[in-house]
Each structure stands twice: as structure tokens, then as C-alpha cells.
Amino acid sequence: MPAHDGETLIMMGEPSDAVIELRSGVARAVSYSSQGCRQVMAFFFPGDLIGLPLSQEHRYSAEAIGGVRFARHRPEWLDRWIGSENQRKASMSLAIWNEEKAFIARGLILGRLSVEARLAAFLRYLAGKQPISDGCFDFVIPQVDLASYLATSPETICRVLRKLRIEKVIAMPRKDCMQIMDGNHLARIAER
Amino acid sequence: MPAHDGETLIMMGEPSDAVIELRSGVARAVSYSSQGCRQVMAFFFPGDLIGLPLSQEHRYSAEAIGGVRFARHRPEWLDRWIGSENQRKASMSLAIWNEEKAFIARGLILGRLSVEARLAAFLRYLAGKQPISDGCFDFVIPQVDLASYLATSPETICRVLRKLRIEKVIAMPRKDCMQIMDGNHLARIAER
DNA sequence: CGTATTCTTGATATAGTTCAAATGCCGTGG
DNA sequence: CCACGGCATTTGAACTATATCAAGAATACG
């Protein structure tokens, strides 16, 4: 099933009665605090399972960002999926761990002091998640979401991206297309 | 078994051949990057399982902070522990989820723009984790670790704690003892 | 094509980093 | 028990990164 950009796939607080399998595109996990503060917690990529029934209710909303196609499964499907996966009794753990990795990644990225270091670390993370062709990878995440994810303002995201472009660390042939020109330099920036 | 303060319970990169059960005190999860950058990723509290064998190697080091007593178990023990727990086949998931929650918490805390908001959010989190007597709870985490966890400098931690004390939002009768005087105000500060 | 959204840029104020130094605290060994 | 050294915390001062406000340009969308 395809999803419109911005479409909500699962809703925070609703009972966890469905698991989403992301087939293509990128989705975001969003947390809404009681005061209505919105925070992008993670991004999901093709192959990821979204909304594992770890608790009674979903702990975040999942929203389509760009080019999303997905499948919605009942929890029973998860049991079969796990069984089919080579009889490895660890595969539920694997699925959960995969989700956990996304959240840990955000923590580690946000642990840096400067926005530049955080953004550099995120771009390296993203490059490892996206298929790369001609040195470029899709960059469909709006800067507003990036700002929320990296705990900064959209204006700063824009400025830091420009700085990295000027320094020829990255290039953006199109707005939705990112190329890492100097991986070593990017790694150095990411280290504070 | 008791642990000295600062003692390493498990080491990042070593094979996951032991699970630690924290009986008392507080421990920290620390990640060391290849360049040697150190980052406090999470804190563990009594009852937590540390070093679940999700991957071949531990993904973080665990170090004792204060008053730690712990038990070291072989991975087989985990199977028995899971079996004993009411035959709930979900209990491995529960253990993993508990670990995951700690990392998600850091992400959500770090998602705030100001250090004051991050610290306020963390104190609320901590108050929910620590037993409270006489309105006070143990506050054994050194400010250096807090700074690393909250992605700021120790000096700023010190200054913000002072500010909160002056504003009578919190009180610290002793250095290792924290009291929340105005929970509503603290919640408001945590909301940016 | 017009409208809404996202991105970009500039200017300003402020929070927070950094460096440096002083103070307090704790354990160790004499 | 006290003196010492090391470590954590505190404070000050200067500088810098980044939030915020405001406005304009570009882009997507119906």
C-alpha cells in the first residue's frame, strides 16, 4: 500500500494491534508530549518493522515522509514471521533490537555539543541506511523534521548544510539528493 | 557482589557472555567512540538487567557509580529467568524493552533546546526511578556524568542546578540528596 | 496560476562553551 | 589524627554558537 506524504501510519496512544512493515521510502517516529510538544524521535527505512507490540499502546506515531509503500500486519503475522525466520527464537529479539538501535543512534548523535557535529554524525548514519547510486543518496527528510530530530532550529539546519556545501564536505545536486564528497572530513566534524 | 565506585562491570566490545543484574546503587552505560570520545548513554537502577546478549559484543560499557551491588549471570541463566517468569514468552521482550526505554528516555530528554529544560526533564525521570523518602531521593550521579549524558558542560550543570535551587524548584540538603520542591514548576521548565 | 509550504538569509540577543582559578571534599599514607 | 594530593565542584570573565524574529525566495500542490 502506498501512503501520502505526511500520512499517519500508526498513532501514539492507540492499542498496538498492527505492525507496519516499511517497503519503501522513509517514515518518522514522532512523540507528542502532554503539552503538545512534538519531537521527531527516529527515522525508519525500508525493511524496518514499525509498532512492535512491546506495550499495550504505541509509544510514538509513525508518519510517512516520502515515497512510502508499506504493509500493515496483524500481530499474529509477527508470530509467523518469527517462526519462518530460520526457526531462530532470537528473531523477535532481533526485530526489537533493530528498533532499539534507531533510538540509541539518536541518543549518540544528540550527545554531541555542536549542531555541526550532530548533523555530520546524522549524515553518516543516513548514508549507511540509504542505498547509494552515483555517490548520491535520497534526502527526502524535510529540514523541519531534521531540526526536531537534532534538537535545533530549522534555520540552523539550513545554515549548517550551506556551510558544509561551501566547504565541499557534501554536495546537493538537487534538494532531495545528498552526496558526501569528503567522508574523512565529515567524520572529523562528527567527532566534535 | 559489591562494586567499587567507578568499577567497570561490563566492557564495550567484549563478547556478551554475561548478564549483570543490578541489585542496588546506580550504574552508567558509557560509549567510547573510535576516537576515544566518551559519552554517557544511560543510567541503570536496581532491578535492571545490563548487557543483554542482543549482539555478539556489548554495545556499551557499564560502570558502577555509587553503592552498587550486583550479580553476574551466565546467559543460560537468562533462559531460566525467562522461563520462571510466569511462562510468559514475552518476558525476554520485556527485558529488552526495559533497556530500550532507558535509551528512548535519553533521546526525548536531549530533544529539548535548552539545558535547563533537559535537566528538568532528567530530574523528573530520575525521581520516577529512585525510591523517595522524606521527599528526598539519592543523587549520586557526578555532575561530570550528568553533563555528558545531557550533552552539555559540567560548569553549565552546576550553574543550572544553582539556578533551580535559588528559584526553590529543587533543594539539595546534601550534595548527594535531591528534593523536588515545586513539581509543577519543574514540569513547566521541562516543557521548554 | 495562485496559494501554501518549505527553504533561505539577515540582524540581534542570549544561552552556553571555554579557559582559568579558587574552593571544597575525600581517601591515603605518614 | 593530620597533612597531602587528587578529584569534583564552584565561580568569574570572555567569546561564540545558536535561537529567535522577520522578511524574502523558491518550491510544491491543487
Contact between B110 and A54 using a beta-carbon 8 Å cutoff = no
**What's the pLDDT score for residue A37?**
87
Contact between A37 and B103 using a beta-carbon 8 Å cutoff = no
Distance CA(A135)–CA(B153), nearest Å, equals 37
| Residue burial A139-174, b: 16+ Cβ < 10 Å; e: rest | bbbbeebbbbbbbbeeeebeebbeebeeeebbeeee
**What's the pLDDT score for residue A74?**
87
List A57's β-bridge partners, or say none. A15
Give the closest residue to B121 by CA, choosing from A149, A33, A13: A33
**What's the pLDDT score for residue A149?**
97
**What's the pLDDT score for residue A75?**
79
**What's the pLDDT score for residue B127?**
94
Mind telling me how many Å the CA of A36 is from chain B's nearest CA?
9
The distance (Å) linking the CA of B25 with the C1' of D3 is: 32
The distance (Å) linking the CA of A89 with the C1' of D4 is: 59
Instruction: Please determine, for residue B91, whether its predicted confidence score (pLDDT) is greater than 70.
Output: no
Give the helix/strand (H/E) hosting B44: strand B38-44
Average pLDDT over residues A2-24: 90
**What's the pLDDT score for residue B90?**
54
Range of B13-22, B80-89, B145-154 with top mean pLDDT: B145-154
What tens digit of pLDDT does each residue of B42-89 get?
A: 999 999 999 888 888 999 999 999 889 999 998 788 777 766 555 455
Average pLDDT over residues B168-182: 92
Average pLDDT over residues A140-146: 96
CB contact residues (below 8 A), chain B span 87-126, against chain A: 92-94, 96-97, 99-100, 103-104, 106-108, 110-113
End-to-end CA distance of chain A: 41
Please answer whether residues A7 and A66 qualify as being in contact, where contact means their C-beta atoms are separated by less than 8 angstroms. Answer: no
Contact between A99 and B100 using a beta-carbon 8 Å cutoff = yes
Contact between A37 and B96 using a beta-carbon 8 Å cutoff = no
What tens digit of pLDDT does each residue of A99-138 get?
A: 889 999 999 999 999 999 999 999 999 999 999 988 899 9
CB-CB neighbors (< 8 A) of B148 in chain A: 111
- The torsion region of residue B47 among left (phi > 0), alpha (psi -120 to 50) and beta comes to left
What tens digit of pLDDT does each residue of A26-83 get?
A: 999 999 988 888 999 999 999 999 988 888 899 999 999 988 999 999 878 877 776 6
What tens digit of pLDDT does each residue of B126-135 get?
A: 999 999 988 8
Question: Residues by CB within 7 Å of nucleic chain D, which ones?
Answer: A 5, 113-116, 151-153, 155-156, 160, 175-176; B 113, 142-144, 154-155, 158-159, 161-162, 175
Interface residue B61 vs chain A (CB under 8 A): no
Give the closest residue to B58 by CA, choosing from B82, B75, B76, B83: B75
The distance (Å) linking the CA of A142 with the C1' of D28 is: 13
What is the band of B12 on the pLDDT scale with cuts at 50, 70, 90? very high
Interface residue B41 vs chain A (CB under 8 A): yes
Looking from the CA of A77 toward its CB, the CA atoms found within 13 Å total 11
* Residue of B39, B79, B104 to mutate, interface with A, max A Cβ within 10 Å: B104
Distance CA(B47)–CA(B10), nearest Å, equals 16
What is the average pLDDT value for chain B, to the nearest integer? 89
